């Protein structure tokens, strides 16, 4: 038995859970030092279970677990408190963040930086901050932390620094290419984006209206690309709600 099989007091969030057998839950946890981990919470659906109210998404927890297989056994979960419950639209945004983590991050691949970005995004959601800005900031942090190397500050072909006064064509897996240069034939759904937006994104300053609008569409295209055809249910639900 390796000492790795028992983890104590790990800062974590519940991303999702589903019923398992008569009285248990399978919980998908996002932990600071172990990344996304699946574990079974035995008896968590019993009426008097102490875990029942604790294993709620979007709340900071300290979790103990054991086991070496793909699905661990949850030993203890303790609510850390200090963060109001998400309500209303912020709650729907929270589901979107969780779905991104579930679909894009690999199991047991630690990303403390991403954990930090996620905690901060939830805190801002709970605090009622501008949702557009915080969602874009999280999406960008997610792509960077997962190693998708989103190039923003240099022209992918010429290597020149991005000029805030120019417009660029953004080619996924490659980067921005200044418009006007000979770029040959391009995919019609490539993104046209201003140099200023690219530099704002590189600096993590997203409040300018044009930056916010253009980064939303660029990040959406990038995320769709890396999802590789999986659709986001939280996005669909959001869209459907707006149509009702």
Closest separation in Å from C-beta 114 to another protein: 18
Q: Is 241 in the site for another protein (CB under 8 A)?
A: yes
Q: Segment contacting another protein (CB under 8 A): 94-102, 144-152, 163-171, 198-206?
A: 94-102
Cβ-based nearer residue to another protein, 102 or 123: 102
Longest distance between any two alpha carbons in the chain, whole Å: 68
Q: Is 58 in the site for another protein (CB under 8 A)?
A: yes
Q: Is 91 in the site for another protein (CB under 8 A)?
A: yes
Q: Is 50 in the site for another protein (CB under 8 A)?
A: no
Separation between Cα atoms, residue 154 and residue 201, nearest integer Å: 12
Q: Which of 88, 19, 27 lies closest to 57, judged by CA?
A: 27
86: number of CA atoms within 13 Å, CB side? 22
Q: What angle in degrees, to the nearest 10, is found between the helix axes of 88-104 and 209-227? A: 40
**How many other CB atoms sit within 10 Å of the CB of residue 117?**
21
Closest separation in Å from C-beta 61 to another protein: 12
Cβ atoms of residues 92 and 81 within 8 Å: no
Among 99, 139, 155, 200, binds another protein (CB under 8 A): 99
Q: Is 217 in the site for another protein (CB under 8 A)?
A: no
Cβ-based nearer residue to another protein, 102 or 202: 102
Alpha-carbon distances of 213 from 53, 165, 193, rounded to whole Å: 38, 17, 10
Q: Is 62 in the site for another protein (CB under 8 A)?
A: no
**Tokens 């190039």, residue?**
151
Q: Is 233 in the site for another protein (CB under 8 A)?
A: yes
For another protein, the binding residues (CB under 8 A) are: 16, 18, 47, 52-54, 56-58, 85-89, 91-92, 94-96, 98-99, 102, 233-234, 236-238, 240-241, 244
């Amino acid at each position: 038995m390796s000492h790795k099989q028992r983890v104590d007091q790990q800062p974590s969030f519940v991303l999702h859970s589903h019923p398992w057998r008569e009285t248990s839950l399978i919980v998908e946890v996002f932990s600071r030092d172990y990344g996304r981990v699946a574990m079974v919470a035995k008896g968590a659906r019993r009426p008097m279970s102490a875990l029942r109210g604790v294993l709620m998404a979007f709340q900071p927890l300290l979790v103990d677990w054991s086991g070496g297989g793909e699905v661990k056994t949850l030993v203890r979960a303790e609510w850390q408190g200090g963060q109001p419950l998400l309500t209303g639209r912020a709650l729907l945004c929270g589901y979107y963040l969780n779905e991104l983590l579930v679909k894009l991050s690999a199991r047991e691949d630690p990303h403390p930086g991403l954990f930090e970005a996620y905690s901060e995004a939830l805190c801002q959601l709970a605090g009622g901050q501008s949702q557009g800005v915080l969602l874009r900031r999280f999406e960008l942090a997610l792509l960077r932390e997962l190693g998708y190397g989103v190039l923003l500050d240099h022209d992918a072909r010429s290597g020149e620094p991005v000029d805030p006064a120019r417009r660029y064509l953004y080619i996924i897996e490659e980067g921005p290419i200044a418009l006007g240069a000979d770029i040959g034939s391009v995919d019609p759904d490539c993104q046209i984006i201003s140099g200023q937006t690219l530099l704002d994104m590189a600096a993590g300053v997203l409040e300018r209206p044009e930056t916010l609008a253009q980064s939303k569409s660029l990040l959406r295209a990038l995320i769709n690309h890396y999802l590789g055809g999986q659709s986001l249910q939280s996005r669909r639900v959001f869209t459907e709600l707006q149509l009702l």
